[in-house]
Amino acid sequence: MRKVWYKENPALLVEMKEEIKDDFPNLHFYESNGVIVVEGSFPIRHDKKSLDRYSIKITFLKDYPKSIPIVEEVGGRIPRTLDRHMNEKGEACLFLPEQRSEIWPIGSTFLEFLNCPVHNFFLGQSLVERGEAWPFGVWDHGVRGIRDYYVQLFGTEDMDIVIKFMLFIIAPKIKGHWPCPCGNGKRLRGCHFPFLLELRDKIPRNVAQRSLQFLLEAKSGKRKLKDNLI
Ligand SMILES: [Zn+2]
């Protein structure tokens, strides 16, 4: 069996502790039930001033950095509702798994994780608490968020075409002489081939597969667009 990441690569854990200690002195690492947890007070800055603090907990699952760490607000301050991008367990929805390669690609550091998606998430919460609008573009949650993401990505609301495109992301191989999923009658190589090859690099198969499953269930009526998935 493969060892858990921090036993396989203890240097990574040392590096993570080292890189955050100056900017986040109030976050502390510990081990609990075979996973690494970081807990403490997380500062929010806005316009170079300190704006706020949150009590947070971040859990690194066994397959980190493949999996995205789970971020929780443990101070009981943020309502656990979808419009605040929180699930019932108090876990933050930082971004869709599909967006990972844009927001926090594999190989990025823990410090970058804290400074970008985590900081933005809590900054957004503070601004919303003050009656301001959520400052970042975010996708809606659950099935609707997934649908909106792919509708925009493929530039069509026709779900049959969206689903065909997704099958081309998931397929073990795609070939230039196949008909293009966009439905304009051309072969792939004269049409969406480069676009699809890029997406196949960007979106992990299992992520696309999971989203496709939700979209198929929504199409057949087994799921509603408002269903929460996080
Ligand atoms: Zn095409």
The tens digit of pLDDT for each residue in 206-219 reads: 999 999 999 999 88
Expressed in angstroms and rounded, the spacing between residue 189 Cα and the centre of ligand 1 is: 9
Encoded tokens for 24: 């986040």
Q: What is the pLDDT of residue 203?
A: 92
- The CA 182 to ligand 1 mean position distance, Å, reads 4
Q: How far is the CA of 196 from the centre of ligand 1 (A)?
A: 9
* 183 C-alpha to ligand 1 centroid (Å): 6
Ligand 1 centroid – CA 158 distance (Å): 14
The C-alpha atoms of residue 217 and residue 207 are separated, in whole angstroms, by: 16
Model pTM score: 0.78
Q: In this predicted structure, what is the pLDDT of residue 25?
A: 95
* C-alpha 214 to ligand 1 mean position (Å): 24
> How does the average pLDDT of the chain come out, rounded?
90
**Regarding predicted confidence, which is higher, 161 or 141?**
161
Considering only 15-24, 68-77, 140-149, which range has the smallest mean pLDDT?
A: 140-149
Q: In the sheet that 49-60 helps form, which strands lie side by side, from edge to edge?
A: 27-32, 35-46, 49-60, 70-73
Where b means 16+ CB within 10 Å and e means fewer, 211-228 reads bbebbeebeeeebeeeee
Q: Where are the alpha helices (DSSP H) in 83-202?
A: 100-103, 110-113, 119-129, 142-154, 159-170, 193-202
For 56-98, how does the pLDDT look when each residue is reduced to its tens digit (9 = 90+)?
999 999 999 989 999 999 999 999 887 788 888 889 988 888 8
CA gyration radius, the chain: 20
Q: Which fold has domain 5-129?
A: Ubiquitin Conjugating Enzyme (3.10.110)
Mean pLDDT of 25-29: 97
Ligand 1 centroid, distance to 160 Cα (angstroms): 14
Over pLDDT 90: what percentage of the chain? Answer: 62
Cα 174 to ligand 1 centroid, rounded to whole Å: 13
Element (H, E) at 50: strand 49-60
Cα(192) to centroid(ligand 1), Å: 4
How remote is the CA of residue 197 from the centroid of ligand 1, in Å? 12
Higher pLDDT, 48 or 186: 186
Say which range, 32-36, 60-64, 138-142, has the weakest mean pLDDT: 138-142
* Across 33-50, average pLDDT: 91
CA of 77 to the centre of ligand 1 (A): 47
How far does residue 178's CA lie from ligand 1's centre (Å)?
10
Tell me how far apart the alpha carbons of residues 97 and 114 are, in angstroms, rounded to a whole number: 17
User: Which residues of the chain does CATH 3.10.110.10 include?
Assistant: 5-129
